[in-house]
Structure 1
Amino acid sequence: MVARIETGRVIDGFLVDSQIHRGGMATLWSVRHDAYSIPLIMKVPRLAEGEDPAVIVGFEMEQMILPRLTGVHVPRFIASGDFKTTPYIVMERIDGPTLHKRLPDLPLPPAEVADIGARVATALDALHRQQVVHLDVKPSNIMVRPTGEMALVDFGLSRHLQLPDLMDEEFRVPYGTAPYMAPEQILGQRSEPRSDLFSLGALMYFFVTGIRPFGDPQGMKGLKKRLWRDPVPPRGIKPDCPPWLQEIILRCLEVNPALRHPTAAQLALDLRNPGQVQLTARAERLEQDGFFTAWRRRLDIDQLIHVEKPSGDAPIVMVAIDPATQSDAVADAMRANVRHTMSAMPNARLACVNVLKLRRIGMDSTLDEEGENKHMQRLIELRHWARPLGLGEGQVTYHVLEAVSPATAILEFARSNHIDQIVMSARARSTMRSLLGSVSGEVAAEAPCSVTVVRTRGDGEGGEG
């Protein structure tokens, strides 16, 4: 017999304090336990007569998925209870609001929307790297930690790519939140990480315009309309929405997942670097597509059921370059390494990085000896370095970092942008390098990803760390 949850009851050592939320599929309770010093929350499914059977299946999915997740972008799992006695999940209670709290403030300034979008995309990237597609990205399922990170909650509709998908096995109708569901999700496809990017695009559209891009349809006919009818471009509603932000949002809202960003990490990188977003016709649109264009898409709707799958990985490769001290031989060797890496992964993004070293004491001039802006000159040098690679504008970005410690700057950039691989060169051997160590050595020792250090003959062997 299932035990009743009420204030003051002790369940498996957890003391129930008070009910804090009653949702459509579950009730949330504040609980305490002597073994845990952090605030806790107990999630209990609603199992009364007449409840949707998806409640039970979704709860089973969350019980399977949440214990396998780690990191600041999800609540910490504590314990779970059996359906035979008392079904529940106890997790960390995140001390922060959901993005739903921002709805009365809409529309938000474009810069704030981009910042929110970048942080949510970072959270999605962390989730996708753990083989989970959320499939219910919406404001009420995104919490803001006091430290600023976004945390995703409620995994009842999620899909773990290495676990059985009970929702798909037991139901033939799509589950999700209508304003944010991706087209392929509506058609029953639940294994596409880029579905979450579509949902985030819908959220950013809503936050920058104050209007949901597809309304709030309640039936399959209304849901399927987004497969053939595009929304009014954000700038047609809010002229102050910059073209680069509209470009990103409309790319997220592409019907075919293959036309969206390959990964959440690449989406976050674009949102943090608006000056390097490659603008297309999307950026300048002010109106929906014409009636006949939409009608032709509607006639071809069946072709969208089998959406294109991503071809291979879509990593972000970072190449740390110092053109002023790099020999032609080293530059050629680094370009050869990068060219090989990029050709092996067609969806990869290259981030060319240079560190403008600052003095520890005193003021630094922004101009060089010729009176040219140092930052701008470095950007020009990076573009010149990358030109022989022949990469398209959308495949490469350029970043000049200003820091006292080049190694620290490179490591911080790699961590904040979820870089998958770093390529850099080693300085020539010298007494000073022997005494103080090398930038490449420090990066290789502490980087969160693989590091390829390129050396030419006479300067030791290259390798990875």
Structure 2
Amino acid sequence: MAPMRIRPGLTLDGFLIGERLHRGGMAELWTASRPDLGFPLLVKLPVLSEGVDPAAIVGFEMERMILPRLAGLHVPRFIAQGDAGLQPYLVMERIPGPSLLPRLEHLPLPWEEVAALGTRIAVALDDLHRQHVIHLDVKPSNLLTRPTGDLVLVDFGLSHHDELPDLMGEEFRLPYGTAPYMAPEQVLGLRRDPRSDQFALGVLMYFFLTGVRPFGDPQRLSGLKRRLWRDPVPPRRLRPDCPAWLQEVILRCLEVHPAWRYPTAAHLALALQHPDQITLTARSEKLKQDPFATVLRRRFADHQLAIPKAKTPVRHDGDAPILAVAIDLSPEAAPIAETLRTMVTRMLPALPGARVACLNVLKQGRITLDQTLDDQGRNIHLQRLAELRSWATPLELEDGRISFHVLESTDPAAAILQYVNANLVDHLLIGARASSLRRTLLGSVSSQVAAQAPCTVTVARSRRLRRTDPGPEAEEKPDVPWTVG
């Protein structure tokens, strides 16, 4: 089945599609309506064209899990989600007010307006954090305004939910975010600190106050990392009318160490609302950047920073084990895939609260340019996700206890090992190649993984009784597992 083409006038599962509002590199936004709903709706679809970044699909999967769990004035109301053929979609409340993006045409803003705006954003962030979500992409285009003046956070594709698998963090080693607004710890791969959103708000307030981004707009990882040791020009150097207390607040939000920022977004909102209660420090008096010698010392002694240099995975429920299952979705591997599902079913009762991570590797060519669509125009990555979900349906596990990962790599064994190592997997189930000829020609992925994985590995293999002259009594043995501790 080819993916459905969305167009004005189309009825999508009862929703009448209107005009397209936006098409970006990751998603499309369309207006929509339904007779029984008396407010405007918005339909969001991931971009599935040739060459699309896999992160667009993974981010959409993350938003599909997070948005239904959110409520309140500061998020759009979730309405529905589904798949039209191989075209996933989300339906949500359409916020009638504009985003903060048009404000960029009028920068710099009066400092009073910046402080008031910062207060409203901090209140929205506090509401989000209380619902166990860190946004991780706070920027003007992701902040919309209700007629009441309340600010609404949108686009949760890069977000982290404390009680859900972190698909973006588990599948990608490079950080994802909007370069000018990313916190230092986010640049280094840490995605679970709510104070990262404070840093982004500090960048936004600085930008709206001065008309200049405090850390520029770097396009390389090396440029992003400069914010770990290079402090921004103090706002009062660029805006002499900025009160000392507002510079104190902004520079505290922009501290490299999360622990040096405000304890919560609620504390930040309170400070912005009651400037007379702010304790001024040396931050408020700064008119110059730190001396070059200080910056150089930080640059070459940044191992002293209390920020992890690599991803430090944390399970969504603290201590529950992760049971990963590497599934070959090819037709000839169907018997082993079924055996793996049976094994998972038998193991789960002995692993209370365990999360099942379903893995499939989309093998890439080493020198060829890989296509992301098949000959019918269907996104291959999305097809694999759908097949993984179909495989897992009989397990009847809720979102928080199961996740689906299509890993794109030239080396399947290396991709599985990287996932297992990076995400502290406790037990891996994997099937051996169904064909001995394929094992000979392509090598044994399961053997390589079993030899190098840091966790227990159970391999399911199809064992057949072979005879020189097989007679009618020859039997086929069922798939059997073997385990490496």
Q: Report the alpha carbon displacement of residue 307 of structure 1 after superposing the two structures with TM.
A: 5.7
Matched, 1:227 2:221: no
Question: In the alignment, is the contact (CA less than 8 A) between 2:188 and 2:308 conserved in 1?
Answer: no
* Cα distance per residue 1:312-367 (max 9 Å; x no partner): xxxxxxxxxxxxxxxxxxxxxxxxxxxxxxxxxxxxxxxxxxxxxxxxxxxxxxxx
**More displaced stretch, 52-61 vs 30-39:** 30-39
Match of 2:126 in 1: 125
Distance in 2 (CA, whole Å) between partners of 1:305 and 1:221 is 19
Instruction: Indicate how the Cα distance of structure 1 residues 161 and 83 shifts in structure 2: closer, same or farther if over 3 A, else same.
Output: farther
Match of 2:36 in 1: 35
Question: In the alignment, is the contact (CA less than 8 A) between 2:244 and 2:285 conserved in 1?
Answer: yes
* Cα distance per residue 1:239-269 (max 9 Å; x no partner): 0111000000000000000000000000000
For structure 2, the 5+ residue unaligned runs are: 313-485
Match of 1:169 in 2: 170
Give 3-state SS (helix, strand or coil) of 1:32's partner. Answer: strand
Match of 1:279 in 2: 280
Structure 2 residue identity aligned to 1:114: A
Question: In the alignment, is the contact (CA less than 8 A) between 1:59 and 1:156 conserved in 2?
Answer: yes
Match of 1:294 in 2: 295
Give 3-state SS (helix, strand or coil) of 2:73's partner. Answer: coil
Q: Report the alpha carbon displacement of residue 22 of structure 1 after superposing the two structures with TM.
A: 1.2
Aligned pair count reads 309
Match of 1:184 in 2: 185
Q: Which has the higher contact order (CA 8 A, sep 6+)?
A: 2
Distance in 1 (CA, whole Å) between partners of 2:304 and 2:85 is 45
Structure 2 residue identity aligned to 1:137: V
Map of 1:25-424 to 2, 5 A cutoff?
A: 25-82=26-83, 84-304=85-305, 306=307
Question: In the alignment, is the contact (CA less than 8 A) between 1:77 and 1:90 conserved in 2?
Answer: yes
Question: In the alignment, is the contact (CA less than 8 A) between 1:256 and 1:307 conserved in 2?
Answer: no
Question: In the alignment, is the contact (CA less than 8 A) between 2:76 and 2:153 conserved in 1?
Answer: yes
Question: In the alignment, is the contact (CA less than 8 A) between 1:187 and 1:305 conserved in 2?
Answer: no
Q: Report the alpha carbon displacement of residue 305 of structure 1 after superposing the two structures with TM.
A: 5.9
Give 3-state SS (helix, strand or coil) of 2:87's partner. Answer: coil
Structure 2 residue identity aligned to 1:218: Q
* Cα distance per residue 1:133-188 (max 9 Å; x no partner): 00000000001111010100000000001100000111000000000000000000
Structure 2 residue identity aligned to 1:166: L
Q: Report the alpha carbon displacement of residue 304 of structure 1 after superposing the two structures with TM.
A: 2.7
Question: In the alignment, is the contact (CA less than 8 A) between 1:81 and 1:88 conserved in 2?
Answer: yes
Q: Report the alpha carbon displacement of residue 83 of structure 1 after superposing the two structures with TM.
A: 7.2
Structure 2 residue identity aligned to 1:301: D
Distance in 2 (CA, whole Å) between partners of 1:285 and 1:277 is 16
Q: Report the alpha carbon displacement of residue 82 of structure 1 after superposing the two structures with TM.
A: 2.6
Give 3-state SS (helix, strand or coil) of 2:30's partner. Answer: strand
Match of 2:3 in 1: 2
Question: In the alignment, is the contact (CA less than 8 A) between 2:218 and 2:224 conserved in 1?
Answer: yes
Q: Report the alpha carbon displacement of residue 298 of structure 1 after superposing the two structures with TM.
A: 0.8
Matched, 1:13 2:19: no
Q: Report the alpha carbon displacement of residue 24 of structure 1 after superposing the two structures with TM.
A: 1.9
Q: Report the alpha carbon displacement of residue 85 of structure 1 after superposing the two structures with TM.
A: 3.3
Structure 1 residue identity aligned to 2:62: M
Q: Report the alpha carbon displacement of residue 86 of structure 1 after superposing the two structures with TM.
A: 2.5
Question: In the alignment, is the contact (CA less than 8 A) between 1:133 and 1:192 conserved in 2?
Answer: yes
Distance in 1 (CA, whole Å) between partners of 2:54 and 2:182 is 21
* Cα distance per residue 1:445-465 (max 9 Å; x no partner): xxxxxxxxxxxxxxxxxxxxx
Q: Report the alpha carbon displacement of residue 300 of structure 1 after superposing the two structures with TM.
A: 2.0
Q: Report the alpha carbon displacement of residue 18 of structure 1 after superposing the two structures with TM.
A: 0.8
**TM-score when normalising by structure 1:** 0.65
Distance in 1 (CA, whole Å) between partners of 2:37 and 2:197 is 33
Distance in 2 (CA, whole Å) between partners of 1:33 and 1:105 is 37
Question: In the alignment, is the contact (CA less than 8 A) between 2:12 and 2:84 conserved in 1?
Answer: no
Q: Report the alpha carbon displacement of residue 229 of structure 1 after superposing the two structures with TM.
A: 0.2
Structure 1 residue identity aligned to 2:76: P
Question: In the alignment, is the contact (CA less than 8 A) between 1:117 and 1:204 conserved in 2?
Answer: yes
Give 3-state SS (helix, strand or coil) of 1:250's partner. Answer: helix
Question: In the alignment, is the contact (CA less than 8 A) between 1:257 and 1:307 conserved in 2?
Answer: no
